[in-house]
Amino acid sequence: MSESWRDGRSKEPDLTANIYAYDTSTGWSGVCAIATKNLLQAADIMHGSNSMRNAALSFAHVELLRASDGMATGSAEAARRAMVLSMYYIAQSQSLKVVHSRYGSVRGHWLSLLYQFQKGQTMIRPVFRSDIIGNQPMSKAMLKQWADEVLQEDKSTTDSGLSRQLRVGNALVLATKKTSQLNS
């Protein structure tokens, strides 16, 4: 697999899908850039197999949480596993199929946004943006801004999964709050 881990630059800018993970509860983020053919191969592997899709979904949650809780850096095994699982998480999504069939390419920016709740659940919101911001991977600051925008959208949308959790009193753990809890 052609990939670059947190190096901030893609070696194949014309053929690149940028995969991101961001945990709103810790501020941890991961990024990798892979050739679009590899992302499509991952989709092919899971095509028609619900068990593989379900495994990808579950393991993505677990590995993202593990990497985030350990604040794994780019070269750490936990970060690599988290990003591979993020890739498979994106690969199984209907968005990938739709984008591929519509545009003939899966180039762009694919984010798995992780929410952690006080009662222990985790939620992943997958989001896609096309190349309108360019082919290169986003900087950390841009990624944080994007994650914040999606978080605010989800909070303000009454029917989002995040809003449903908040309505039943399951508070979202946020980076600043978690830090303050740890410090208290």
5/97 with CB nearer other proteins = 97
121/139 with CB nearer other proteins = 121
Give the shortest CB-13-to-other proteins separation in angstroms: 20
4/113 with CB nearer other proteins = 113
Give the shortest CB-127-to-other proteins separation in angstroms: 5
Give the shortest CB-169-to-other proteins separation in angstroms: 16
Taking the CB of residue 56, how many other CB atoms lie within 10 A of it? 23
Give the Cα separation of 90 and 43 in Å (integer).
8
Contact residues for other proteins, defined by CB under 8 A = 57-58, 61-62, 65, 93-95, 98-99, 101-102, 119-130, 132, 150, 153, 156-162
Give the Cα separation of 151 and 115 in Å (integer).
9
11/164 with CB nearer other proteins = 164
Give the shortest CB-11-to-other proteins separation in angstroms: 25
Give the Cα separation of 166 and 180 in Å (integer).
20
* Contact criterion met (CB below 8 Å) for 29 and 140: yes
64 Cβ partners below 8 Å, 6+ apart?
A: 21, 23, 82, 85, 86, 112, 114, 122, 124
